A and B are shown apart, each in its own frame.
Chain A
Amino acid sequence: MILSNRKNITKIQLVFFVVVIALFCSLVLALPRISIPLSLAYILSLALTPIVETLMSLKLTKTQSIVLIFIVLAVLIGLPMFRLIPLLSAESQNFQNIIPRIESYIIQQFQYVREFVKLRTGHEIGDAYVYQGLEEMQNWSASFVVRIPNYIANIMEWIFLVPFFTFFIIRDSESFKRTLLSFTPNVIFERFYYVIHVFNRQLGNYFFAKFVEAVIVGGIITAGLLLLDIKYAVILGFIAGLTNIVPYVGPFLGVGPAIVLGMLEYGMTSPTMGAIITLYAIANVVDIFFVFPFLVSKIVNLHPMLVAVSVIVGSHYMGITGMVISIPVVAAIKLIITEIYNEIYTERSR
């Protein structure tokens, strides 16, 4: 009687635990407005925790070290942003002015062709498609301009939410973990604790390595662009470092703005353009041959094909964020599957 009663309680504990976890996961997945800043904050906290630990060993309290890191980061990220925002608003003004000009140019050209064809063949070309196309383009640009405040609102929300979440995740991760462990059923306690520990450590190592990699690549590019005396060198270097976090695709995303800027400022075939492309190539070669093999690949041991597939799947579901978090998530899934495999195939079958 007692035994059966106890078994029931164990089962109830297990069910309760699984339900709480599932509820939390589904809630986060169902609300991308929370889950995206939350996962970004989690990634940031993982990358920053080693620095916090180092500062804490210098006799600072946890809160003091986090605040210190935040101030440094705010200066490092904030200054380029202050330069970027006026530039962006000026560019979007330009964009709005350019559109009517493009439109009148197209109509003018179309009129010429029409006259020309009528003169030669006596037929008149229908103009419905051209006007329809133009109208669509106008609508699209209008809706894009209308949606800009929306995007900005989103970004503003993130600017406040991500540091907010990051701060509390770093500060209170211990107590979160203890709360979670306190109602973990005895049956799975040791295994569960071990898995979340290894999971956090792997993810932490991965993002710390990525963080270092981004700083190195961004630093090389910024220094190079400054030497070449190119406008917005700091911003371009910052973008290159940031996009470098995405495996494989990142370097191409990073070089995009530099090519566009170089084209506008110096022209496609100018020597400066060649220098810019060479610089990006050098930075990526350094990354691929010297940084990546020593830092990142030892931490996440995944087949390159699996990496490519997970990046694509991640981008499909969560955009850029998905691309960034896909690798560690796949690594974590691999870890959990390995753990379950070991449980099923090696220990119990002995």
Chain B
Amino acid sequence: MASSYEKEIREAGKDKVELTKKIDLSMMKYLWMANPLSRARKHSIPKFLRNVELLKNFSDNELRILAKYMHNRKFAEGEIVFREGEVGIGFYFIFSGIIELSHDDLGAEISSEKFLILEEFGYFGELALLQEGNQRTATALARNKCELVGIFKPDLDNLIVRHPVIAAKLIQSISIALADRLYYLTNEASKMHKRIKQLEANNDSQQS
């Protein structure tokens, strides 16, 4: 009796003996894993991260390692992910569902203003990963049943020690996104500054 299935096939090939039909376990396993309805989240998180624009400079293997350091969090409809002013340590990607970001009080007349709605593959809370004692600048609320994939400061600390390259790439990606945003905001601010100057000049000429 052969000790393994592979050996059995080899020996059967040598002796030209007809093999008895058996269930091919590895094929079964492959079909099961490839099943599109499979709930094996272990494999779906790296696949999900592959489709996130922010992480496009990661290799597949790096994403697989990164996924090990992330946490799956489920939120019910209307549940709050974090509140404005809270100390935050988490950076979230939206696996499924819709997240609504809002400011709590923008002046007395508006009690809360929704300013951004994020869908699948979106991300939010990246400042918490970079800033020490970061205070959330907005409130995040789950519009419907949401599944988020989060990476937190302690995970980043561990990642820096164990996989410095991946940690550096993650921080680089976040920095690029933040730099783009900063550039946009600087442009906006200078436009607004010019506009204010113009209005002030108009105002002065009207008064005089």
Binding site for B on A (CB under 8 A): 2-3, 6, 9-10, 53, 56-57, 178, 181-182, 186, 189-191, 193-194, 197, 342, 347, 350
Contacts and interface: CB of A to CB of B under 8 A. Distances in A.
Contacts of A350: 85
Given A6-B78, A6-B79, A350-B85, A56 B162 contact: yes
Contacts of B58: none
Contacts of A6: 76-79
Nearest to A9: B76
A182 B79 CA distance: 17
A17 to B, nearest CB: 14
A193 B156 CA distance: 13
Nearest to B82: A190
B154 interface: yes
Contacts of B135: 347
Contacts of A57: 162
B154 A190 contact: no
Interface stretch (B8-16, B29-37, B86-94, B172-180): B86-94
A178 B71 contact: yes
B115 to A, nearest CB: 21
Label chain A's interface by main secondary structure: helix
A10 B79 contact: yes
Given A56-B162, A178-B71, A193 B78 contact: no
B161 A193 contact: no
B81 interface: yes
Chain B interface size, as a band, is 20 to 34
Interface string B38-80: 0000000000000000000000000000000001110111110
A194 B89 contact: yes
8 residue pairs, one from A and one from B, having the closest CB atoms = A197-B154, A6-B76, A194-B89, A190-B89, A190-B90, A193-B152, A6-B78, A3-B78
Contacts of A10: 76, 79
B75 A193 contact: no
Name the residue among B85, B135, B154 with the largest chain A CB count within 10 angstroms. Answer: B154
B153 interface: yes
Interface string B11-26: 0000000000000000
B71 A181 contact: yes
11 contacts: A2-B77, A6-B77, A10-B76, A186-B75, A190-B82, A190-B86, A190-B90, A191-B87, A193-B152, A197-B154, A350-B85
Given A3-B78, A53-B161, A186-B79, A193 B89 contact: yes
Label chain B's interface by main secondary structure: mixed
A55 B89 CA distance: 29
A57 B71 CA distance: 24
B154 A194 contact: yes
A2 B73 CA distance: 20
A218 B88 CA distance: 44
A347 B75 CA distance: 24
B166 to A, nearest CB: 14
Contacts of A3: 78
A2 B89 contact: no
Interface in B71-129: 71-73, 75-79, 81-82, 85-90
Contacts of B81: 186
B54 to A, nearest CB: 21
A194 B153 contact: yes
A53 B154 CA distance: 16
A202 to B, nearest CB: 13
A10 B135 CA distance: 24
A191 B72 CA distance: 16
A57 B161 CA distance: 9
Contacts of B153: 194, 197
Contacts of A181: 71
